[in-house]
Amino acid sequence: MKFIVSSSLLLKNLQKISGVLSTNNTLPILDDFLFEMTEDQLSITASDLHTTMTVTLEPDKMEEPGVVAIPAKILLDTLKTLSDIPVTFNINEETMTVEMAAGEGTYKLPGHKSDEYPQVPEKEDATNITMASSVLSMAINKTIFATGNDELRPVMSGVLCELSPEEVTFVATDAHKLVRYTRKDVSVGQNASFILPKKPLNQLKAVLSPDDDTPVNIEYNQTNAFFAFDNIKLVCRQVEGKYPNYEAVIPKDNTKNLVINRSMFQNALRRVSIFANQSTHQVRLSLSGQELYLKAEDVEFANEAHERLDCSYEGDDLEIGFNSKFLQEMVTNLDTEQIRMEMSEPNRAGILFPIEEDENTDEEILMLVMPVMLNT
């Protein structure tokens, strides 16, 4: 097995899939990239058993098709030190020795047989859907920050995808915050839902272009989801379990409505939260008339901060507390000039919406943040 490829092209493609590799693999073979060469292309795969990602490219020259597993770390470290020059790979298929020649240097490392490398799952009874790269990228970006990290509740560590003939909805929650992102310009013939894990979504987030309408082919069955676009394929195992009834926690009758400049609110939150208790991150919102007062304090260290902001507010006077970190995450992930926050009582969730200047009827987003008990 022999091929010649540009070092920068190879490195660029390996970096697209290297995030799949885990640092604490149970199988030593999972520390490797799997190189498979046919007569017309080279496929390189990374896997951690749950997620498998493959990239294909065309080397400058190919001889003798074959397959070999090459240790990922030493290969990546070597390629990072090279300028953009051709690298010749020569693999002895009997000893599995990998020899690289680049410029005036030659480098040898032990390759491994591919027998133990995980097989990509079959697409049995899979349903197909196509989505633009920009749409999928937006859906991941708007939801993934709200996923949980509780190993006892694995379903909440992923993003729920609900598909219907009318729309596609992505939901993430960690029980403290929740995001529901809906696209009405994407649909499927029949209702379906599945939960995608956070790791493969982060991989997709890194390689999808938010400004590109490249079609992403998505196939799913009862156990796996398959993504294919450009020269990349990703397969991931879905999270097993039933997602909580998130609709039940979204308050419907919200009589108190705040409209405020997003960046002004974001910057004030950022400043005030510096003075908050570093374990609760509590910030107090006091709403009266057309004014919003923010207050945070840390009694133990005698830290305290107050800020007054102009706003548009409808409803009775209200004092409500939130975790400032959660609230900042919400506001940061809304990108309109003005935002609306709906509330009802100090012990009920607040809901944030973007205020769109150009009403995009194909996109809807709702962000919910649970309140915290105010210190008296």
* pLDDT of amino acid 284: 97
- Could you give all domains of the chain from N- to C-terminal order, each with its CATH number? 2-110 (3.10.150.10), 127-247 (3.10.150.10), 250-372 (3.10.150.10)
* pLDDT of amino acid 76: 98
* pLDDT of amino acid 360: 64
* pLDDT of amino acid 376: 58
* pLDDT of amino acid 357: 74
Share above pLDDT 90 across residues of the chain, in percent, rounded to a whole number: 88
Cβ distance 201 to 222 under 8 Å?
Answer: no
> Three-state DSSP class for 169?
strand
Tell me the pLDDT tens digit for each residue of 221-245.
Answer: 999 999 999 999 999 999 999 999 9
Tell me the pLDDT tens digit for each residue of 300-343.
Answer: 999 999 999 999 999 999 999 999 999 999 999 998 999 999 99
* pLDDT of amino acid 199: 96
Cβ distance 131 to 120 under 8 Å?
Answer: no
* pLDDT of amino acid 40: 87
Question: What is the residue-averaged pLDDT of the chain?
Answer: 94
Tell me the pLDDT tens digit for each residue of 155-167.
Answer: 999 999 999 999 9
- 36's enclosing H/E stretch is strand 32-37
> Three-state DSSP class for 102?
strand
Tell me the pLDDT tens digit for each residue of 87-144.
Answer: 999 999 899 999 999 999 999 999 999 999 999 998 888 999 999 999 999 999 999 9
Q: How long, in residues, is the chain?
A: 376
d(CA 91, CA 95): 9
Q: Record the pTM.
A: 0.93
- For 126, phi and psi rounded to 5 degrees? -85, 145
CA proximity to 182, closest of 196, 204, 164, 158: 164
Cβ distance 71 to 28 under 8 Å?
Answer: no
- 218's enclosing H/E stretch is strand 215-220
- For 217, phi and psi rounded to 5 degrees? -90, 120
CA proximity to 342, closest of 253, 259, 251, 257: 257
Using CA atoms of 186, 191, 195, 201 in order, give the dihedral in degrees to the nearest 10. Answer: -20
DSSP string of 344-356?
Answer: --TTS-EEEEEE-
Tell me the pLDDT tens digit for each residue of 183-228.
Answer: 998 888 889 999 999 999 999 999 998 888 899 999 999 999 999 9
Q: Is the pLDDT of residue 45 over 90?
A: yes
- Exposed / middle / buried, residue 131 (Cβ in 10 Å: 0-12, 13-18, 19+): buried
- Residue 359's pLDDT band (boundaries 50, 70, 90)? low
Share above pLDDT 70 across residues of the chain, in percent, rounded to a whole number: 99
* pLDDT of amino acid 356: 85
Helix 324-332 to helix 262-273 angle (10° resolution) is 150
